[in-house]
């Protein structure tokens, strides 16, 4: 009986959390048009979460691509069809690895920064001070960060994929001697616009999800040092789990 009640409580808390996040999203989106009036704030955030994540995204993209080159070549040469390396690796990068790894890196690099920044603002009463001055903290602090993240992630995703393809090419063509023409022409013959679109759509969805989780966790953080720390941890965990679940759903819909 006790167990049943606990289960029910957990379920209720989960439903309440989903509701709270949804309402928060509605509030942020409601303030988004007014946040657009001051594009400087959004540019700052695109710089913070996007431009400053560029190095880690590009490094990881290169190495993920190079690993795909090694593994893909090893796998395909067992079937004697190394020429399909370009196609296989590109599709893997476009449809799965690019968006998912970018979202995970974004959650780790930028999501935590967003959550702890907003959480610290909450802990040091800066958000309350803004409210006192009749400045809506959602409009001034949360909406620009959310929009910045949602803009940055799709861009980071396509950069990751492009660098990744370069990495595959580096290993497959330069090191293992897959024919350059076969590599590119097979890729061009079997990759079509929908595959690119799938990657971009996933990037957009993951960007919205990860940014929302980060700003929500920061905004609702308990205003103590432990609270901010917990909010940061929860940001990474929830973003990662959400990304993978959304990835499955999006793949099932778009395949």
Partner 1 sequence: MRSTRAVEISTGLFVLLGFAALFFLVTQITNRDLSLNGGASYEVYAEFDNIGSLRPGAAVSMAGVTVGRVESIRFDQDIYKAVVRMRINSAYDRIPADSDASIMTSGLLGGQYVGLTPGGEDTYLADGDRIEFVQDALVLENLINQLVANFGRRDGRDDGSER
Q: Can you give the binding site for partner 1, defined by CB under 8 A?
A: 40, 43-44, 46-47, 50-51, 54, 79-81, 83-84, 90, 94, 152, 154-156, 158-159, 161-163, 165, 184, 186-193, 195-196, 199-200
Nearer to partner 1, 52 or 67 (CB): 52
Nearer to partner 1, 94 or 101 (CB): 94
> Which residue spans within 197-253 are E strands per DSSP?
none
Query: Cβ of residue 79: shortest distance to partner 1, in angstroms?
Result: 7
Residue 114 CA to residue 80 CA, distance in Å, equals 48
Which residues are CB-neighbours of 32 under 8 A, at least 6 positions away? 143, 146, 147
Query: Cβ of residue 94: shortest distance to partner 1, in angstroms?
Result: 7
In eight-state DSSP terms, residue 37 is: T
Residue 85 CA to residue 74 CA, distance in Å, equals 10
Nearer to partner 1, 105 or 228 (CB): 105
Nearest CA to 65 out of 219, 155, 174, 146 is that of 174
Query: Cβ of residue 239: shortest distance to partner 1, in angstroms?
Result: 21
The DSSP secondary structure of 116-138, one letter per residue, reads: HHHHHHHHTTHHHHHHHTT--HI
Question: C-alpha dihedral over 78, 82, 87, 90, to 10 degrees?
Answer: 80
Nearer to partner 1, 83 or 136 (CB): 83
Query: Cβ of residue 131: shortest distance to partner 1, in angstroms?
Result: 27
Place of tokens 């920064």: 113
Which residues are CB-neighbours of 178 under 8 A, at least 6 positions away? 73, 82, 83, 85, 86, 172
Nearer to partner 1, 85 or 231 (CB): 85
Query: Cβ of residue 242: shortest distance to partner 1, in angstroms?
Result: 23
Query: Cβ of residue 2: shortest distance to partner 1, in angstroms?
Result: 53
Nearer to partner 1, 94 or 127 (CB): 94
Residue 107 CA to residue 161 CA, distance in Å, equals 18
């Amino acid at each position: 009986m006790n167990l049943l009640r606990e289960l029910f409580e957990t379920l209720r808390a989960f439903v309440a959390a989903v509701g709270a996040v949804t309402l928060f999203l509605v509030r942020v989106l409601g303030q988004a048009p007014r946040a657009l009036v001051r594009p400087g704030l959004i540019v700052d955030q695109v710089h913070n979460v996007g431009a400053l994540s560029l190095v880690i995204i590009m490094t990881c993209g290169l190495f993920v691509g190079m690993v795909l080159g090694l593994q893909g070549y090893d796998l395909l040469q067992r079937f004697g069809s190394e020429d399909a390396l370009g196609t296989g690796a590109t599709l893997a990068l476009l449809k799965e690895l690019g968006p998912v790894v970018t979202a995970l890196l974004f959650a780790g690099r930028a999501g935590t920064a967003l959550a702890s920044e907003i959480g610290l603002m909450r802990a040091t009463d800066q958000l309350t001070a803004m409210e006192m001055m009749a400045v809506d903290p959602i409009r001034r602090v949360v909406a620009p960060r959310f929009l910045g993240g949602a803009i940055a992630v799709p861009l980071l995703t396509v950069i990751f994929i492009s660098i990744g393809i370069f990495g595959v090419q580096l290993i497959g063509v330069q090191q293992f001697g897959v024919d350059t023409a076969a590599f590119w022409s097979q890729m061009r013959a079997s990759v079509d616009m929908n595959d690119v679109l799938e990657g971009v759509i996933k990037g957009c969805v993951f960007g919205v999800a990860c940014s929302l989780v980060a700003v929500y966790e920061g905004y609702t953080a308990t205003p103590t040092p432990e609270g901010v720390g917990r909010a940061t941890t929860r940001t990474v965990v929830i973003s990662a789990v959400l990304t993978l679940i959304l990835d499955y759903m999006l793949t099932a819909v778009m395949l």
